[in-house]
Amino acid sequence: MTCKSIKAIAALGILIATMVWPWASADAQERSPSVSVDVSQLDAQTYERLDALNLEKKVILRLVQEGFAVVAARERPYIRVVYRGGSTLRIEVESGVSKRTREVHLSVASDLAALHLEVAQKTVALVRQMPRKAASRPTETPSTQRATPAPAVGTPVVGTPAVRTPAVRTLAPVPRAAGNHPLTLDAVVGLVTRGKIDPLVGLNVSYAFHRSIGAAATFGFVPASSAEIDVFEGQVQLGVYWAALVGESWRLLLGVSAGVQVHCFSLSRESLSNESLPNESGTRVDPLVTSPLTLTRRLWKRFEVGIRLAPGLSGESREHTRNGVQLWQRSGLRLEASVQLSWRP
């Protein structure tokens, strides 16, 4: 396996990720239940006391982070969240087949930020309990037709009486909210240290099977040449991760990944100019295991920015020598530090 073939494999991996994206997007749209949030049923005093506009924004943000498609009430969502209030705030969550309620006590000395957090958490908990169905409701069809009485004996039949049939009403699919998607694409730029520091660029593709569990594929490229030897390394890993919300806009992800690191090397032109050093090149493959820790912050609907630390081990130390002179050396222990920009459809 040559360095050219490694680069071709990396390009093929990016192409496969691009081809899988539309399929995963369509699958996610079918699985995302739509939700609307309504604070208009609060009386004027409670609306002002709760700062209902900011409460609505925080609830919507939390629902989006949990993987729900938040839409306007006029879009006929599958789940409706309605707030009603007086001395207590009543949270009503209903769909066509189920309804659940919770109450939050409103004290005079309530801290507004803490109250908003409590309401958002209880709202999300109620929405999670609702039966999950596709984003669009099923077509409503009549189960029976109204029977037409037969004419009395001796009554002349003028014509065939019309049968009254209820109209069939079909609800259109609810559009998915932007950025509410289990598939994420990360562009990564950073450094990797293995006794010496080398640049690192990469591409991560992750898919969330649940709000806190997912899988990820990682493609990384490390140019690590020196004056005496040209070195290019590529790494491919598959892994799983666990995610948790930290506050309203932050996510913490802890994962474990395993794969291979491909080490391609050849003597540089400067070394080849020395006739005493014969031409030499080759490829080595080592196992690679890392445990990435990532902290991300949502910037906008579709974008997140994050920092990533990934300690790991890539087999034994790698060293190149010539005539007793060390040309290149890296340890098997490694630490990646990078920043990433994430995008969701």
Distance in angstroms (rounded) separating the CA atoms of residues 318 and 334: 12
- Residues with Cβ within 8 Å of residue 245, at least 6 apart in sequence: 65, 251, 252
Quick one: pLDDT band at residue 12, thresholds 50, 70, 90? low
CATH number at residue 207: 2.40.160.20
Does 141 reside within a domain? no
Does 248 reside within a domain? yes
Question: How remote is the C-alpha of 145 from its chain's centroid?
Answer: 47
Q: Are residues 21 and 68 in the same domain?
A: no
Does 143 reside within a domain? no
Question: pLDDT value at position 334?
Answer: 95
Least confident of 154-158, 164-168, 315-319: 164-168
Mind listing the pLDDT tens digit for each residue in 163-189? Answer: 444 443 333 443 444 445 688 999 999
Distance in angstroms (rounded) separating the CA atoms of residues 79 and 132: 10
Question: Which residues in the chain belong to E strands, given as ranges?
Answer: 34-38, 69-70, 79-85, 88-94, 99-105, 183-193, 197-208, 213-223, 229-246, 250-267, 281-290, 293-298, 303-313, 318-322, 325-330, 333-343
Does 165 reside within a domain? no
Q: Where is mean pLDDT largest: 9-13, 221-225, 305-309?
A: 305-309
Q: What is the pTM of this model?
A: 0.54
> Which token pair is 185?
């694409």
Q: Which domain holds residue 316?
A: 3-27+180-343
Report, as an integer, the average pLDDT of 142-166: 47
Does 138 reside within a domain? no
Q: Are residues 230 and 106 in the same domain?
A: no
At which of 67, 98, 129 does a domain end? 129
Distance in angstroms (rounded) separating the CA atoms of residues 135 and 177: 11
Q: Where is mean pLDDT largest: 92-96, 150-154, 310-314?
A: 310-314
Residue 295, exposed/middle/buried by CB under 10 A (0-12, 13-18, 19+)? middle
Does 150 reside within a domain? no
Q: How many domains does the chain have?
A: 2
Q: Which amino acid is at 289?
A: V
Quick one: pLDDT band at residue 17, thresholds 50, 70, 90? low
Q: Are residues 192 and 250 in the same domain?
A: yes
Q: Are residues 209 and 306 in the same domain?
A: yes
CATH number at residue 70: 3.90.950.20
Q: Are residues 17 and 80 in the same domain?
A: no
Does 109 reside within a domain? yes
Question: Which residues in 51-156 belong to E strands, given as ranges?
Answer: 69-70, 79-85, 88-94, 99-105
Does 99 reside within a domain? yes
Q: Are residues 207 and 256 in the same domain?
A: yes
Q: Are residues 75 and 195 in the same domain?
A: no
Q: Are residues 86 and 216 in the same domain?
A: no
Mind listing the pLDDT tens digit for each residue in 79-136? Answer: 999 999 877 899 999 987 788 999 888 876 668 888 898 899 999 989 888 876 544 4
Q: Are residues 50 and 7 in the same domain?
A: no
Question: pLDDT value at position 170?
Answer: 37
